Structure 1
Amino acid sequence: METQIVLTKPLSLESGSDDDYSAPNLIQRILSLFKNIRPGSDLTRLQLPPAFNIPKSQLQCYGESVYSVSDDLLGKCNGGESPLERFIAVVAWCVSTLRPLIFGVAPYNPILGETHHISRGTLNVLLEQVSHNPPVSALYATDYEKENLEILWCHHLVSKFYGTSVETEVHGTRQLKLLNHGETYTMKCPKLSIKFFPVAGVEWSGISRICCDETGFEAELTYGGRSFLGLRGSPKSIKGKIFNSSSSKPLFEIGGHWDRTVTLKDLESGQVRVIYEAIEVITGLKIPIVRDPKGVWASESALVWSEVSKGILSKQWGRASEAKNAVEEKQRKLFKERASIGEIWVPKHFDVSYSKEQGWDCSPLQPLVPPAPIVVPLI
């Protein structure tokens, strides 16, 4: 019997309203999950029961940040007439990669060698889990046919428990290369904060920086939320500035909310304009479809976790647990087999290195990503 590939609706502004994947008594379940964990503990190796999962892998969530959009922001990055206009467009695109998350549930931790290969129009995206402990994910996307651009991400997650919250730092860099213009934009991701008390919620927080060495433009974005007591602050807020690295003098101020509207104020003229409307970009997102079932790799996320996802979607938690245990037990068996013969696992699609100074670095082994058997409908 052929295994069914399970693909689900992308995370969007509608998430959490019509997509309820969580089990009953969620808060009590969360408290029981963390009752034996000390504050400050690293949660990297924590295995969540399916009741705490949404039916998709972390690799799919990373990929959705790039390919699940209702507006072609990447095209606007490449189409800017001046270096400054392109930089502003890149800032807007960077904001669009943040997606609303659902409190109390998280995607699956990808298994070693898991992949996610998908296309949207001429943009082809490939992700691979290049390390399991610690968890490191690599993303490479190319569009040479229309926009002539490349995207390369290398993410290393570090999650820690602080008694009333969990904070996940996303180490590593993101690069967007506009090859027609010879420009490379490097950016950092803010951290993810999950708070249990006094007001439960999940939000992006901290500072994200964007820079382009070729043009000298830089941006610093600060993502904010409620204070510890939940009495102050503006959830999902964003503020920042754009400046030239040669002078550090601010040229523009950025403000608003990343899940609503983000504006740009010209500090010389005082003119204010909207550079990002979340409702135009991350609503009405389409579920990917399988165009070529025979072309789907056995390592594809939607195939690896298909039985677990079916259990979650039908709220058959026993079925989901059995399926998840089967996936994890298979990985433990493969690990023991490799260890017994001294075999070192090597990623199939990326060259990976690590240093204390630079952290994890991932480079694609092939110059372009081929069209994928799974596609995002454009209409």
Structure 2
Amino acid sequence: MVQVKMEEKRETKIVLTEPLSIRDSDASYKAPNLMQRILSLFKNVRPGSDLTRFQLPPLFNLPKSQLQCYGESVYCTASDLLSKCNNGESPVDRLISVVAWCISTTRPVTFGVAPYNPILGETHHVSKGNLNVLLEQISHHPPVTALHATDEKENIEMIWCQRPDPKFNGTSVEAKVYGKRQLKLLNHGETYEMNCPHLLLKIFPVIGADWAGKVTIRCLETSLVAELSYKSNSSFLGIGGNHRVIKGKILDSSSLKVLYEVDGHWDRTVKLKDTNNGQARVIYDAKEVMSDLQTPILKDTEGVWQTESAHVWGELSQAILSKDWEKAREAKLKVEERQRELMTERESKGETWISKHFVVSNDKEGWQCSPIHKTVLDAPIIAL
């Protein structure tokens, strides 16, 4: 059962929904007549097409924004993996904990439905314990998202800047995610840089969704590196196979010596084997980390920004949850038309949109973002 919490604010609903968890996504989020509708959706899309401007009808939308999905991957966990990262006694211990935390940001994807494409300047601001998380959509075309999170008690900071690039390949959609994520353990003077896997949506011969690709986690101050590979070893017809596999290694890049081997399933357990003595242990248990995730609560209605995802899309989210598709279509159209009006107004005045929370640049190395403020303030939305 999907939990929904709503408040009225300036004639617009603020809708908070149950976070996506490690279990297969709730049936309420699945579009009816799935295969038939998907084929009709892509019948006029050519292979190789860029899907960043592709607009899904509300029937294919999750009742939440992509910003909320990114945020949930950081603040929706049942155990505090970030504290474990900070409390590791040695650089190797800390890297192992960072690997476990990185895996925890991977969540199952429901094929056939997708979150809303965030509007320019949209934000998502949530607190979980001492961790305050802020996301902002810093570009609409192409879609680029920035994240800043701080935990002053643990002295931890996160900075992300990433750009999904979905393309239709005829029998599948592959969404490569460009950009980097940084996790800073300031007490130890360590910065860990990492990328994230790509999303693969298969349409033929059997529909399905999974994460794939290589993830590298590198500590900039040491020579320690973790190399992870996400893959789904399914048969041609999708029957059997080994799904949601993760394999990899932790090595000292200065000597190229492999210290540990990583093996398991990111939606179940992941083990670490010491290459010196062959001893193995579980470093990540998805059931433990992702159990009993609760819908966030609204602590301060007046403190919610007009740009907050739950505010911007509140009317649409409620219509989707109520399966009122006509109202959903109208609500989505209202948001889109308002964005076109604002863009036209800026162009007529010769104005350029500027991020409120990040210094943004786009150069040969790609999109870069730097938080304007040193720390993220407490949020009016609280994750439980």
Structure 2: tracts of 5 or more residues without a match: 1-9
Which residue does the alignment assign to 2:6? none
State yes or no: 1:202 paired with 2:202. no
Which residue does the alignment assign to 1:309? 317
Contact 1:21 1:312 in 2 (8 A): no
Q: Distance in 1 between matches of 2:219 and 2:240?
A: 34
Contact 2:30 2:110 in 1 (8 A): no
Which residue does the alignment assign to 1:7? 16
Q: Distance in 1 between matches of 2:31 and 2:362?
A: 39
State yes or no: 1:42 paired with 2:39. no
Which residue does the alignment assign to 2:358? 350
Q: How does 1:252-263 map to 2 (within 5 A)?
A: 252-263=260-271
Which residue does the alignment assign to 1:363? 370
SS of the residue 1:276 aligns to: strand
The amino acid of 2:224's aligned partner reads F
Question: How much does 1:88 deviate?
Answer: 0.1
The amino acid of 1:78's aligned partner reads N
The amino acid of 1:206's aligned partner reads G
The amino acid of 2:216's aligned partner reads R
Contact 2:234 2:243 in 1 (8 A): no
SS of the residue 1:310 aligns to: helix
SS of the residue 2:249 aligns to: strand
Contact 2:31 2:112 in 1 (8 A): no
Question: How much does 1:226 deviate?
Answer: 3.4
Q: Distance in 1 between matches of 2:353 and 2:24?
A: 36
State yes or no: 1:86 paired with 2:94. yes
The amino acid of 1:209's aligned partner reads T
More strand by share: 2
Question: How much does 1:4 deviate?
Answer: 2.0
Label 1:228 to 1:156 Cα distance change in 2 as closer, same or farther (>3 A): farther
Question: How much does 1:211 deviate?
Answer: 0.4
The amino acid of 2:191's aligned partner reads T
Which residue, out of 144, 156, 168, partners 1:161? 168
Structure 1: tracts of 5 or more residues without a match: none
Which residue does the alignment assign to 2:332? 324
The amino acid of 2:21's aligned partner reads S
Contact 1:63 1:127 in 2 (8 A): yes
Q: Percent identity?
A: 63
Question: How much does 1:19 deviate?
Answer: 4.3
Q: Distance in 1 between matches of 2:355 and 2:122?
A: 10
TM-score after normalising by structure 2? 0.96
- Which aligned segments of 4 or more residues in structure 1 are displaced greater than 6 angstroms? none
Q: Distance in 1 between matches of 2:34 and 2:323?
A: 14
TM-score after normalising by structure 1? 0.97
Which residue does the alignment assign to 2:382? 375
State yes or no: 1:149 paired with 2:129. no
Q: Distance in 2 between matches of 1:231 and 1:209?
A: 30
RMSD over aligned CA atoms reads 1.1
Which residue does the alignment assign to 1:116? 124
Question: How much does 1:22 deviate?
Answer: 2.8
Q: Distance in 1 between matches of 2:74 and 2:164?
A: 18
State yes or no: 1:333 paired with 2:341. yes
Q: Distance in 1 between matches of 2:31 and 2:250?
A: 43
Q: Distance in 1 between matches of 2:165 and 2:229?
A: 20
Aligned length: 374
Question: How much does 1:227 deviate?
Answer: 4.8
Contact 1:43 1:160 in 2 (8 A): yes
Q: Distance in 2 between matches of 1:325 and 1:337?
A: 18
Which residue does the alignment assign to 1:283? 291
Question: How much does 1:15 deviate?
Answer: 4.2
Question: How much does 1:266 deviate?
Answer: 0.3
Q: Distance in 2 between matches of 1:213 and 1:25?
A: 49
Question: How much does 1:376 deviate?
Answer: 1.1
Which residue, out of 23, 32, 42, partners 2:40? 32
Q: Distance in 1 between matches of 2:276 and 2:29?
A: 48
Label 1:19 to 1:6 Cα distance change in 2 as closer, same or farther (>3 A): farther
Which residue does the alignment assign to 2:300? 292
Contact 1:224 1:233 in 2 (8 A): no
Q: 1:95-123 CA distances to partner (integer Å, 9 max, x unpaired)? A: 00001111110000000000000100110
The amino acid of 1:20's aligned partner reads S
Q: Distance in 2 between matches of 1:44 and 1:349?
A: 24
Which residue does the alignment assign to 2:5? none
Q: Distance in 2 between matches of 1:286 and 1:243?
A: 37
Question: How much does 1:233 deviate?
Answer: 4.5
The amino acid of 1:367's aligned partner reads K
Q: Distance in 2 between matches of 1:360 and 1:74?
A: 26
Label 1:259 to 1:104 Cα distance change in 2 as closer, same or farther (>3 A): same
Q: Distance in 2 between matches of 1:340 and 1:313?
A: 38
Q: Distance in 2 between matches of 1:15 and 1:68?
A: 16
The amino acid of 2:213's aligned partner reads G
Contact 1:23 1:315 in 2 (8 A): no
Q: Distance in 1 between matches of 2:51 and 2:11?
A: 35
SS of the residue 1:225 aligns to: strand
